[in-house]
């Protein structure tokens, strides 16, 4: 059975004019990469866990702050070529959130208390394991800029967001 993850995509604006909050993957492998090195905050849905609860938990774990307590819009499940499924929920936030003290974006999540880490082998095949942040920064991007940054399996989410928010 494929692994299912839940993701929470914050956005402000609608349709093609939307901006989205995405996170750069942490650790030495991703340090010098930009294109296809960003992701929607997400994580594994635990057995018996509600998708929205999992998405909100993972958002808080990865970004170190709780997701805004606003209604979600279900964008549906998206299957990666690996078979992994990511169920994405969108949350529309007011544009005034951007740059405010409550903005979850951060140019450096490695110093924000409460962010989660993962253990990776580095350098590869060395047997040495190090702790790295799951994500190292989170930034608001307009859709045309976000698309090439997102991992390939998440790029269709942007089309779903446009379709769901276009009047």
* This prediction's pTM: 0.95
Taking the C-alpha atoms of residue 135 and residue 105, their distance in angstroms, rounded to an integer, is: 12
Segments making up each domain of the chain, as ranges: 4-165
Fold that domain 4-165 belongs to in CATH = Nucleoside Triphosphate Pyrophosphohydrolase (3.90.79)
How far apart are alpha carbons 59 and 135 in whole angstroms? 11
pLDDT tens-place values along the chain, 167 residues long = 778 999 999 999 999 999 999 999 999 999 999 999 999 999 999 999 999 999 999 999 999 999 999 999 999 999 999 999 999 999 999 999 999 999 999 999 988 988 999 999 999 999 999 999 999 999 999 999 999 999 999 999 999 999 999 98
Please tell me the total number of residues recorded for the chain in this structure.
167
Residue at token pair 């409550």: 102
Q: How far is CA 101 from CA 4, 96, 110, 150, 161, in A?
A: 32, 10, 18, 26, 26
State the sign of the Cα–Cα–Cα–Cα dihedral 70, 75, 76, 79: negative
């Amino acid at each position: 059975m494929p692994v299912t993850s839940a993701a929470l995509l914050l956005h402000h604006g609608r349709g093609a004019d939307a901006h989205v909050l995405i996170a750069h993957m942490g650790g030495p492998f991703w340090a010098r990469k930009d294109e296809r090195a960003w992701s929607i905050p997400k994580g594994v849905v635990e057995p018996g866990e509600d998708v929205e609860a999992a998405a909100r938990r993972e958002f808080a774990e990865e970004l170190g702050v709780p997701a805004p307590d606003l209604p979600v819009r279900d964008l549906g499940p998206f299957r990666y070529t690996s078979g992994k499924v990511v169920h994405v929920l969108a949350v529309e936030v007011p544009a005034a959130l951007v740059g405010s003290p409550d903005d979850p974006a951060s140019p450096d999540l490695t110093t924000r208390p409460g962010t989660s880490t993962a253990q990776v082998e580095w350098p590869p095949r060395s047997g040495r394991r190090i702790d790295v942040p799951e994500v190292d920064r989170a930034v608001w991007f307009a859709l045309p800029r976000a698309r090439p940054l997102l991992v390939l399996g998440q790029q269709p989410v942007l089309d779903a967001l446009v379709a769901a928010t276009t009047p």
